[in-house]
């Protein structure tokens, strides 16, 4: 007999969400860069040259490390930051490769504020302005193909200078987006701590919840307190909401490196206390 809705247990959620990288603008932009670089190298860079493989691998790294870092963020802020920064560094390497190609082949490098560069940026604006439900916003394969079709006039051009310069524009856009992601990750780490700190806070909060709801546990706690001090008695309560607090470490500011008590209900409550 199938379970009825009343019989089903509520779905458990991970402490830190992860995934969803396909919806990131940075990932969608680096997909365009990766596909465009593969096509460009096959057409204009000798297959006997190490440069072809290096450019394709740099473009691939710029895309794949965004995905890997996003997934790793479920259990490690440090890994997420590291892998996202690897993606950023790979794109910087690819940027230099395209600039080298233009210089070594005596081809023009577009002015970032020139009309041609603005036309490429305008394609990105078309994606942002597309109505909800448009294929251009689809995070799956259909969206990748729709965005590739939009950029086809510049990324499938007959002139290698047009393709190289267009990819340079896209790399600058992706680098800007990744810089913003890194800033956001760093700020989230400073305010909320790493995975270990959040796991410890969740454990303290769960234990407190069980102690309140289980009368038997309350009796056991009373017995233990008469012979052995309860470790949770040494943990202060939040001065704002009254919940237990967890030890955290300041990552910046005048108290950088020093520990402090932070509310286990963060980010709903931002109460703190000195150690």
| Interval 37-96: pLDDT, tens | 999 999 999 999 999 999 999 999 999 999 999 888 766 778 888 999 999 999 999 999
Strand ranges (DSSP E) for 120-258?
Answer: 245-249
Q: For the chain, how long is the longest CA-to-CA vector?
A: 85
Q: Is the pLDDT of residue 196 over 90?
A: no
Distance separating alpha carbons of residues 213 and 205, to the nearest angstrom: 13
User: For strand 272-274 and strand 259-263, is the pairing parallel, antiparallel, or unpaired?
Assistant: antiparallel
Considering 27-31, 77-81, 249-253, the range whose residues carry the highest mean pLDDT is 27-31
Helix 160-192 to helix 115-129 angle (10° resolution) is: 50
**Contact at 8 Å (CB) between 256 and 250?**
yes
Under 8 Å CB-to-CB from 23, ≥6 apart: which residues?
Answer: 139
Strongest mean pLDDT among 17-26, 103-112, 213-222, 244-253:
103-112
Answer yes or no: are the C-beta atoms of 75 and 195 closer than 8 Å: yes
Residues 145-160, mean pLDDT to the nearest whole number: 97
- On the question of pLDDT at 200 being above 80, the answer is no
Q: Which backbone phi and psi does 273 adopt, to 5 degrees? A: -155, 145
- Bridge partner residues of 262 (DSSP): 246, 272
Q: How confident is the model at residue 125 (pLDDT cuts 50, 70, 90)?
A: very high
* Burial readout 161-196 (b: 16 or more C-beta within 10 A, e: otherwise): bbbbbbbbbbbbbbbebbeebbeebeeebeebbbbe
Range 8-31 average pLDDT: 75
């Amino acid at each position: 007999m199938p379970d009825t809705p009343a019989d089903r247990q509520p779905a458990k959620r991970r402490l830190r969400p992860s995934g969803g990288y396909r919806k990131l603008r940075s990932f969608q932009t680096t997909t365009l860069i990766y596909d465009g670089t593969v096509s460009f190298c096959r057409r204009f860079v000798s297959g006997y040259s190490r440069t072809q493989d290096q450019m394709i691998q740099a473009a691939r790294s710029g895309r794949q490390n965004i995905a890997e870092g996003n997934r790793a963020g479920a259990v490690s802020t440090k890994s997420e930051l590291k892998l996202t920064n690897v993606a950023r560094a790979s794109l910087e390497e690819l940027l230099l490769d395209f600039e080298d190609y233009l210089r070594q082949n005596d081809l023009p490098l577009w002015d970032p504020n020139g009309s041609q560069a603005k036309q490429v940026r305008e394609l990105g604006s078309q994606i942002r302005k597309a109505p909800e439900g448009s294929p251009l916003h689809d995070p799956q394969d259909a969206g990748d193909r729709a965005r590739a079709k939009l950029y086809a006039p510049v990324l499938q051009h007959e002139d290698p200078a047009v393709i190289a310069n267009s990819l340079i524009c896209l790399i600058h856009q992706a680098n800007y987006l990744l810089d913003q992601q890194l800033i956001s990750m760093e700020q989230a780490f400073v305010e909320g701590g790493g995975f270990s700190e959040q796991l410890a806070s969740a454990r303290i909060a769960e234990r407190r919840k069980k102690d309140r709801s289980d009368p038997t546990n309350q009796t056991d706690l009373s017995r233990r307190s008469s012979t052995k001090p309860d470790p949770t008695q040494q943990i202060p309560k939040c001065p704002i909401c009254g919940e237990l607090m967890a030890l955290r470490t300041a990552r910046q500011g005048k108290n950088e490196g020093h520990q402090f008590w932070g509310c286990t209900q963060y980010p709903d409550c931002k109460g703190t206390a000195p150690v």
